[in-house]
Amino acid sequence: MKAILVIADGMADRPLKELEGRTPLEAAVKPTMNRIAEKGMCGIVDPISPGTPPGSDTATLAFLGYSPMEVYSGRGALEAVGSGVEVLPGDVAFRCNFASVDKDLTVLDRRAGRISNEDASRLTRSLQRIKLKKSFDASFMFKNTVQHRATLIIRGPKLSTAVSDSDPEENGKGVLEIKPLDGRPESVHTAAIVSELMSEFQRVLAEHPVNKERARRKQSPANFVLCRGAGTIPNITPLPELYNIESACIAAVSLIKGVCKVAGMDLVNVKGATGTPQTDYMAKAKATVQALKTHDFVLLHVKATDVASHDGNARLKMDIIGKIDGMLNYVLKNIDLSATHLALTADHTTSCATRNHEGDPVPIAVCGPYVRRDSVREYSERTCAEGGLNRIRGIDLMRILMNFLGRTKKFGS
Amino acid sequence: MKAILVIADGMADRPLKELEGRTPLEAAVKPTMNRIAEKGMCGIVDPISPGTPPGSDTATLAFLGYSPMEVYSGRGALEAVGSGVEVLPGDVAFRCNFASVDKDLTVLDRRAGRISNEDASRLTRSLQRIKLKKSFDASFMFKNTVQHRATLIIRGPKLSTAVSDSDPEENGKGVLEIKPLDGRPESVHTAAIVSELMSEFQRVLAEHPVNKERARRKQSPANFVLCRGAGTIPNITPLPELYNIESACIAAVSLIKGVCKVAGMDLVNVKGATGTPQTDYMAKAKATVQALKTHDFVLLHVKATDVASHDGNARLKMDIIGKIDGMLNYVLKNIDLSATHLALTADHTTSCATRNHEGDPVPIAVCGPYVRRDSVREYSERTCAEGGLNRIRGIDLMRILMNFLGRTKKFGS
């Protein structure tokens, strides 16, 4: 027995005026999703708890069976892991941006004119050569990812995540001083390391040939590195150890890849998977079918629904739901339905009206040979609420699926 | 966006033989409640947990989003706060009764012949002049409220709520000695202060002119003060700080007012609101509409349904439900429905058969622009159980409402 968990990011929504009180999911054409609901058992899920707007990271941790309230330790380290940087327990990770600042350290452009990957890579190679003072007893890794985005890892004994951001998160504001957020020596120490590093980065970037070229091309200089969101990797037992399974993750965005990597899942890179509405849906569907041949559990994540919701674009969201439906149709046609459970859900509600993550529950449908089919025949926020799964928490799902796979231990005798 | 939470005290019930197996809520005429159910999403709520009979104080704490299991610290302090007495963190509060005792300290009447407010106030003024011995390093406040009821507050460093009651809670029994309930010095100290105070009260009351007048009028003397329920105020973060909202409470009974005051809500005094079946329902409805103009969140509490239930009077309960329905009709007609969510529930089941608070879940309906309407068309214990909210806990409700108001923080990113 195997299982697939499909998470459509922010697919759940609230009733929208422009859709005459329907949600995009209710209004979309989604015959495959409806078939999953009809063949399966349905319900609603609070990814974290009722009324709490989840992040994609905390919700995915919960869906993989981890208590986010206990293990979540910030986005920085997860995103770093997801972008291929090694982060060890104890390392402190930051999310960074190449930025343009003036001589008073006022931020002119938080994205340094959305600097190209090539320019960012050349700058990064120079920054990587900087040496930290020996007295710090620490090392650092710096890696650019996409455009202006980068990751900074500090490694050493006795570090702390209790340090403030330098990123003011808005153009026109001054760069913030990195300060310890509590009085512990570790926090003071970590803040000193990062401050020193930021000055060294600034020194190297000021005279860098890439910035001189950018000036000639009338492009914003990448003369500062802003950092934010100090975090560590969650201290969790990986899935293979918990359930004795091989598991794989098919996702485009670093944050989800990071969560899955930390959970001990294999990351499958899919050409054409971009995390945007233009992603190659069928390539991801094919990768899912392939991954299931060699793994017991596959998580398939699609970001596009959330992107459309944050833009308040209900019509685009409906189109994307249609494409995800096609993707699911391919998956269902190419797997052994007598030996696979498939769960379809969203990691949170993203309202096209508020354009934010919201705390409303999300629909879920699980089909497969062991489920108790209910009378729900349509996959949507409202119809699933009438299903046999009733209302569960995100953290409950993994154990339900692993039990279908015969991988949960009896508690008691 | 704003929200109203309507709590009808003990409105939920069990099926009654005299109503051919219906509950009073099922048998009552309640077109407005049904409209709220029809336009909204419905469910059932365990105010505390399944099968646990809640008090009105613990249930209201839960509905305001606080974990009663963690923060509840007795009724005494809450009722004192609700009756207008200032209670500070660390103060120990008792609920007191003026009582009649004989010379052997056997209680003849726990309510001193339901002494008048006037007599109780005159006695209270004399008791307030008593000075505690300096060695106690403590002060006290004593205040009568309604008839024989009063509140005692002990203030000082190192006090404890682990002291026993002097009130035997039954006529014909002896006054109990106030003892420390554990071996901590604070508990021994607190018990000594209260014991000393009780003797002083007894001494002053014995010779008091009011009691001489009462003897001439053949009225029971108020020659003793019984105390019970040592408590402190719950250590909670108030709602304005948690959600950045202005909130108001419209309630007649001290206990609910106390909970709401401690939660940082403004108390609205309504002329004619009595906490009895004869309360001025429309005055409370009007006060709710007014309060909503200046506040983001209004709690409207009606006690009468509980009073009728404790008397086992199902017909009266049905009448009261009808009056609450009229009240809701006024509210709905006078607020902006496109910018308000309204939740209607009960704080617990009070059974007209057992005449007690019971642990059955209570119905809930929430209407407003963001809710996912379900197919429930009638507001009752059974019909709401089929609704889209499924079954939630009391503690979940506040976050659901605050999420509709855009006042909950995302957890994760």
Find chain B residues with C-beta within 8 A of A382's C-beta.
372-374, 388
Find chain B residues with C-beta within 8 A of A358's C-beta.
403
Pairing of strands A362-367, A340-346: antiparallel
pLDDT tens for residues A270-303?
A: 999 999 999 999 999 999 999 999 999 999 999 9
Nearest-Cα distance to chain B for A14, in Å, is 6
Count A/B contacts: CB-CB distance under 8 Å. 94
d(CA B96, CA B148): 8
Q: How much is the average pLDDT of A4-17?
A: 98
Nearest-Cα distance to chain A for B120, in Å, is 47
pLDDT tens for residues A115-135?
A: 999 999 999 999 999 999 999
d(CA A330, CA A353): 32
Which percentage of chain A shows pLDDT scores above 70? 100
Q: Phi and psi for B394 in degrees, rounded to 5? A: -50, -45
Q: Residue A63 above 90 pLDDT? A: yes
Q: What is the pLDDT of residue B145?
A: 86
Q: Residue A398 above 90 pLDDT? A: yes
From start to end of B118-186, where are the E strands? Answer: 139-144, 149-155
Q: Residue B76 above 90 pLDDT? A: no
Query: Mean pLDDT across chain A, nearest whole number?
Result: 96
Q: Is B38 an interface residue toward A (CB < 8 Å)?
A: no
Q: How much is the average pLDDT of B244-260?
A: 96
Look at phi and psi of residue A187 and say left if phi exceeds 0, alpha if psi is from -120 to 50, else beta.
alpha
Q: What is the pLDDT of residue B128?
A: 97
d(CA B193, CA B23): 49
- The secondary structure of residue A180, as a DSSP letter, is B
d(CA B247, CA B2): 10
Q: Are A381 and A363 in contact (CB under 8 A)?
A: yes
What is chain B's percent helix, strand, coil content, to nearest 5? 35, 20, 40
CB contact under 8 A, A14 and B411: no
Which percentage of chain B shows pLDDT scores above 90? 96
Q: How much is the average pLDDT of B20-44?
A: 98
pLDDT tens for residues A312-345?
A: 999 999 999 999 999 999 999 999 999 999 999 9
pTM score, whole prediction: 0.91
pLDDT tens for residues B356-388?
A: 999 999 999 999 999 999 999 999 999 999 999
Q: What is the pLDDT of residue A76?
A: 87
Q: Are A316 and A277 in contact (CB under 8 A)?
A: yes
ipTM exceeding the 0.95 mark: no
Pairing of strands B390-393, A224-231: unpaired
Nearest of B108, B95, B94 to residue B221 by alpha carbon: B108
Planar angle of CA A201, A202, A206, nearest 5 degrees: 120
Q: Phi and psi for B8 in degrees, rounded to 5? A: -95, 115
Q: Is A57 an interface residue toward B (CB < 8 Å)?
A: yes
d(CA A396, CA A399): 6
The type of residue at A216 is R
Q: What is the pLDDT of residue B94?
A: 95
- With cut-offs at 50, 70 and 90, classify the pLDDT of residue B401: very high
Q: Are A91 and A155 in contact (CB under 8 A)?
A: yes
Q: What is the pLDDT of residue B69?
A: 95
The type of residue at B320 is I
- With cut-offs at 50, 70 and 90, classify the pLDDT of residue B111: very high
Q: Residue A390 above 90 pLDDT? A: yes
d(CA A235, CA A115): 34
pLDDT tens for residues B143-196?
A: 998 889 999 999 999 999 999 999 999 999 999 999 999 999 999 999 999 999
Q: Are B148 and B120 in contact (CB under 8 A)?
A: yes
**Alpha helix positions (H), B2-88:** 24-27, 31-39, 56-63, 68-71, 75-82
Q: Residue B61 above 90 pLDDT? A: yes
- With cut-offs at 50, 70 and 90, classify the pLDDT of residue A146: confident
Q: Are B247 and B240 in contact (CB under 8 A)?
A: yes
Pairing of strands A41-46, A139-144: unpaired
Q: Which residues contact A150 (CB under 8 A, 6 or more apart)?
A: A96, A97, A98, A120, A124, A142, A143, A144, A225
Q: Residue A33 above 90 pLDDT? A: yes
Q: Residue B413 above 90 pLDDT? A: no
CA distances from A68 to A254, A338, A393 (A): 18, 33, 12
- The secondary structure of residue B125, as a DSSP letter, is H
Q: How much is the average pLDDT of A170-188?
A: 96
Nearest-Cα distance to chain B for A347, in Å, is 12
Helices A56-63 and A394-404: angle between axes, nearest 10 degrees: 30
d(CA A111, CA A263): 31
Query: Mean pLDDT across chain B, nearest whole number?
Result: 96
Planar angle of CA A19, A24, A30, nearest 5 degrees: 120
Q: Which residues contact B370 (CB under 8 A, 6 or more apart)?
A: A14, A15, A351, A353, A360, B1, B341, B404
Q: Residue B348 above 90 pLDDT? A: yes
Q: Is B39 an interface residue toward A (CB < 8 Å)?
A: no
Q: Are B10 and B360 in contact (CB under 8 A)?
A: no
Q: How much is the average pLDDT of A51-67?
A: 98
The type of residue at B57 is D
SS3 assignment, position A363: strand
Element (H, E) at B216: helix B209-216
Q: Residue A83 above 90 pLDDT? A: no
pLDDT tens for residues A260-278?
A: 999 999 999 999 999 999 9
Q: Are A77 and A161 in contact (CB under 8 A)?
A: no
Find chain A residues with C-beta within 8 A of B371's C-beta.
15
